Structure formats: structure tokens, C-alpha cells
A and B are shown apart, each in its own frame.
Chain A
Amino acid sequence: MSPKTDRRQASGAAPPRPPADAARADAVRTIATQYVGDRGPLLPILHSVLEHHGYIADDDIPVIAEVLNLSRADVHGVVSFYPDFRRTPPPAVRVVLCRGEACQSVGAEDLYAAARSAAARADDVEVGEVFCLGNCALGPSGVVNGQLRGRLTTADVLAPLHRRQR
């Protein structure tokens, strides 16, 4: 029995339930183990899980915590702090629009409102906000299915959403 398990039992905390997807848990453990000797490895691990699995599942958290010898609360706290670490599988169509001041000066708020309302009538799509993509001279800017786009028009944004309309 490792010293870590001793401490958990002494504190009365319940051990984590076994992961529902054992294969994923193994894959996540492999990722986490690769970074274990680095300084401050948690963010690189989470980015790698995101890259390979699309999102951070609840069951990933105790696995990463165990590898790094952190508490589940510590890992959960970090995951929930950063907007990038999404907790659900990504949708088929994802549009992220910039709402920064520079993009607002060229109509980003109307664009965002139009996209949100179109998304409400479509399946498996997501319209998100971001506060600067560093493309401020060519706004309104956004990321449409992973591609950075500038000088966006309403048609550019609505086309991929309308294709998934209910």
C-alpha cells in the first residue's frame, strides 16, 4: 500500500470510483505519465488530453490526480478555471466569435447575436465567444471549425450553422 493511499484513508475521503471507460483511463494515464518529470506539468497534460480525446471527462480527473500526486480537488480546480478545458465532447460545428472592442467597432455584437439565434435552431452546433484572436485590424474575426477567419460576414457565420438546422 502506497503512502498516498494511507493518507486518503486516514482523512476519511472516499476513493474514486473505477472509471467507466477503462481504455480511456489507460490512455489518459499514459499521457500524464509522459509529463511527470516536467516542471508544472498539469496544463500540458490537460492540453494533450484535449487534443487526443476532445474534452476532459470527469473520469480523467482522478487518473491525472493520482499520477501527479495531487488531490482530485486540485485538478478539478485547474480544469474548471480555464475556458479551454471543455467538459463535454465537441459538437459537429463550432463557431467562436470575437467580442473584443476592436471587433465590436465593426459590428461583432450583431454578428454574435445572429449566430446565437441560428445556433438555437440547429443540432450539434455551438457558438462561443472569445475576447480577442489577435486579428483586430481585419475584424470581425472568428474561428469557424478550427479555422481563423477575418472580415466575417453574417453569411459566412450562418452558412455552417444553417446546414445543421432542425
Chain B
Amino acid sequence: MTTVWVPCDAAALSVGAEAVATALAAVEGVTVRRNGSRGLLWAEPLVEVETEHGRVGYPNVTPELVEEVLAGSAPSLGVVEEHPWFARQHRVTFVRVGRIEPTDIAAYRELGGFAGLSRALTLTPQQVVGEVTASGLRGRGGAGFPTGIKWETVRTAAADVKFVCCNADEGDSGTFADRMLIEGDPFSLIEGMAIAAYAVGASEGYVYLRSEYPHAVTTLRRAIDIAYAHGMLGESVAGSGHRFDLEVRVGAGAYICGEETSMLDSLEGKRGEVRAKPPIPALVGLFGRPTVVNNVLSLGTVPMILADGGTAYGALGTGRSRGTQVVQLAGNVARGGIVECDFGTPLRTVVEDFGGGTLSGRPLKAMQVGGPLGAYVPASHLDLPLDYEAFAEAGAMLGHGGVVLFDDTMDASAMARFAMEFCAKESCGKCTPCRIGSTRGVEVIDRIRRREDLEANVELLGSLCTTMTKGSLCAMGGLTPMPVQSALTHFPEDFGLAAEGSRT
């Protein structure tokens, strides 16, 4: 009798994991179990065979390789948890992902699940918020706002009903950690939301999940049903007498709905247009009520913070960036996937040691960090540490932790143009700098690319970027200049400008 694990993560399925699972299941004496992905996406489909030494991994398995995998003669990574790519990480938020069947609530509990919620329910709501504040947890969605402060605002607000909303509209290119956590360990998100609800006095919660993630929708809905059946959601969460109802709402293809106020409007059944702030959602949020809006990774980390205490989590990391960063290595990368490590780890470690350089084998030219609104960081900046402040100082942002690699065939002016094109397509249209500025931006960059009146158009682009940065209602228009201007600053030759010092 052999037990094998085949991931049911969408990334694994996208490269043929289902056919491998079917082929394995057809072999007599083989039990196929489904896990989330270990995050070694370069090895998917990664089949693990249970042995007395541990789960031995076989990378890039096809149905044709199944016999060799079962005989142990296929190329192997050895015991997956001892493989350097995995062993050198510090898995906190992703501690269970890939180890268990995602909706196996007993396995979740066995590996430390619900310990955070149990402890939280022995504390007062104020103490729970105190633990989160002590941990130094900052919003993992990109902005890095201290989670404890947000929760305290909602906790002290008076209202007939309060909400906890999870922003799972992970639309940034180069990011997939939210999806993998939901598909691989959905109970951690549910537990985190239940803790948040108890802490702030909320009775209803929504997960706003993008429609591009159908596998995550299915897994999370199943997990929520199971959590209800086990009394972890509903009229008395874990027997505490505190009511918390949770529901998944599916987005409809609009990138802007990842902006928190636009997400709230979308949840209300409206066009996903950005709201002016103030008032902040913590006071006037969903249906005008005080609302916690947190990212998947923030909420998914809360159970560990409550289980081990806020100070234990706060001991990890550097400066004002506490805990771990879930880096998503993507794009033109030899070994892409999830790399969770303490804040402060140099970018070089992630890109070179884990990523192994570019997939094409050509020299690395740049990395876009933090999604489509993040800066292009040149290869010469590889020694930047993963730290919110260090990135901000370098004119970049860590954002959600997506790192997209580009080789030397990248044309920085084409990427700058694309940033404006993307903004023009996805702008909600509410404010003028974003709606009109992005289209004008495409036109100006086109003129620059055709070398028309170069100096004047570069100056015009700078002025347009200033208007968008200062005049936009939200980060969409406000940050689109970041990839544009970083491309121009670091790769002026791609815009037909002299490399050094010719521009002021």
C-alpha cells in the first residue's frame, strides 16, 4: 500500500496535475491524496510518495513517469521538507500549505489549527487587539498599514452591526500567495476572520474573492461549510456564544475592486468605484458600518500570532517590518514559487539562491516588485533588503511581495507604456487624473518611443506623472507613475535618452 500526494492547487493543475492524479489512482495499491502546493512551482506537478523517511518528492511528473515514480527510479528531490529550497525558508503563514488536504479540518487542528482562536476566546477583545498590535503585523495587501491600529478603530466604534471583510481580490500580476493560501489552507483564513470578528465585535464577514480564481472559490466555500458543521462559524463560534457568519462573494473581473473602498461598493452590489477617504472604512465601511478590511495573508497570519503570542511574531523581521514576508517569485525565473522568509532578507538571496536567475538563462535586467503599480528595480539593486522602509527609500515598494523577473530582452519603454495602458483599461473612472491621465500617458510614451520631440515629451510625461501621483483618488492612478518613472530613471536608453546625467 503506497500513499502519494498530488497537489490540487490551480498552478499544479495548469501543468497537468489532474492527469497525473488519475494515472496514479489507476494503479492498484496506490492511495492518492490531494494537498495544496508546497510552493515549489517550478517542480509542479510535484508528486510526493510517503516513505519511512518522509515524503519524497518527484518534480515535473507526467502520466508517463508514474511507474518510475512508484518504483522510486524517477528523478527525485529527496524528502521535500529537507530540500534546500524548502528547508531554507521560514514558513509561518504558509506553515501548513502543501502538507495537508486543504479541507481536512482534523489535520488542520492536529497541526496547530484553531489554537489561536481558542486562546483568543479566553482573552477580552481588547487583549486580542493588543496581541495583534504587539506583533507589529502590517497589512500584507501592499499598503503596510498596522493591523492592530485598524482593529482598535473598529473595536471602539459604536454600531448596530460591524463587518469583517477579507480582500482576496488579488489582481496584481506576479502575486499568487493569497490564492495558494486559500487553496492550500483555507481554515487559516476562516480562523483569522473569526478572531478578527471577536476582537472588533463583528457578526458578519465576507471574503471578496476574484472570479479568476475558481478553484479557490470552490475550496473556500467547502471549507466554510465544514467550519459551520463543526461549530467554528455560526451562532456560537467554538461554543463562545459569539455569532459570526461568513460568506464568499465573487468579483467580476474588475482589477480596481482590489482597492478597499471600491471592493466595499462592489460587495454592496454597485459599480466598483473608489470612495473618497475620509471617512475611513474602519468607521464608515460596508453598508456604512464600521468594517475591518484586511488582506488574506494578514488574516491568515493572525491565528499564529494569537497562538504563540504577539511578541513571538514581533521578534522576527527587521526595523518596522516585523514577521515574515511571503515572496512570490514569478515571471522569467528559473525556479519560481513561494519563498517565505523573515523581513530583512536581501532581494539577492531570493532572486539568485531561490530563483536561480532567469528562465531564459539570459542576464537579469530588472525586477518589478510589488505588482503592476510597483517600481522596476534594476539588477544592480539586488542588495536591497526585503523591508517596507528600505524599498520606499529606494523609490520602490514591497507591496504584496511579488517579484517579477525580466531578462535583458525587456524593453523598459514598452513596459512603461503598458503600465499606462493597464491603468486606462482598469481605471474605475471616478477621478480625472487616473481616467484621462492614463490615456494621455499612453499617447505621450508612444511619441517618446517614436522619438518625436523627445526632450519636451519626456518633460510632459514627468508633469503628467506628478498630476496623477498627487491628484488621483486612490493608488491606481496614484502609483501608475511608479513603474513608468522607475523605468525611465533606470533605463533611459530604452527611451532614446543618454544613459547618465543628461536629464535634470
Interface residues of A (CB under 8 A from B): 39-44, 46-47, 77-78, 81-85, 98, 100-106, 130-139, 141, 148-151
| B446 contacts A by Cβ under 8 Å | no
Q: How far is B406's CA from A139's CA once the two chains are assembled, in angstroms?
A: 13
Q: How long is the Cα–Cα vector from A45 to B426 in the complex, in angstroms?
A: 23
Of all chain A residues, the one with the shortest Cβ separation from B15 is A150
Residues of B within 8 A of A136 (CB): 173-176, 328, 330-331, 336, 402, 404
Q: Is the CB of B255 within 8 A of A131?
A: yes
In the assembled complex, 19 residue pairs joining A and B whose CB atoms fall closer than 8 Å, in A order, are A39-B287, A42-B270, A43-B251, A43-B267, A44-B249, A47-B211, A77-B271, A100-B173, A100-B372, A101-B331, A101-B368, A102-B330, A131-B173, A132-B172, A134-B212, A134-B213, A135-B14, A137-B11, A148-B10
Give the complex CA separation of A75 and B11 in angstroms.
Answer: 35
Contact between chains at A83 and B173 (CB < 8 Å): no
Residues of chain B having any CB pair with chain A under 8 Å: 10-11, 13-15, 41-42, 44, 170-176, 178-179, 204, 211-213, 215, 249-255, 266-272, 287, 328-333, 336-337, 359-360, 368, 372, 402, 404-407, 410, 415, 418, 422, 425-426
Q: Which of A78, A130, A134, A148 has the most CB of B within 10 A?
A: A134
In the complex, the answer to whether B250 meets A47 with C-beta atoms within 8 Å is: yes
Known A44-B249, A104-B418: A148·B13 in contact at CB below 8 Å: yes
A139 to B178, CA, bound (A): 18
Chain A interface secondary structure, helix, strand, loop or mixed?
A: loop
Please name all residues of chain B whose beta carbon is closer than 8 Å to the beta carbon of A106 when the two chains form the complex.
Answer: 331-332, 359-360
Within 8 Å CB of A137, what residues of B? 11, 41-42, 176, 328-331, 333, 336-337
How far is B267's CA from A42's CA once the two chains are assembled, in angstroms?
9
Q: Could you say which residues of chain B place their CB within 8 Å of the CB of A150?
A: 11, 14-15
Give the residue among B254, B268, B368, B404 with the most A Cβ atoms within 10 A: B404
Known: A78-B269, A105-B332. A138 touches B44 (CB 8 A): yes
Which of B11, B336, B360 has the largest number of chain A CB atoms within 10 A? B11
Residues of B within 8 A of A141 (CB): 14
| Residue of chain B at shortest CB distance from A85 | B252
Query: In the complex, which residues of chain A have a beta carbon less than 8 angstroms from the beta carbon of B266?
Result: 43
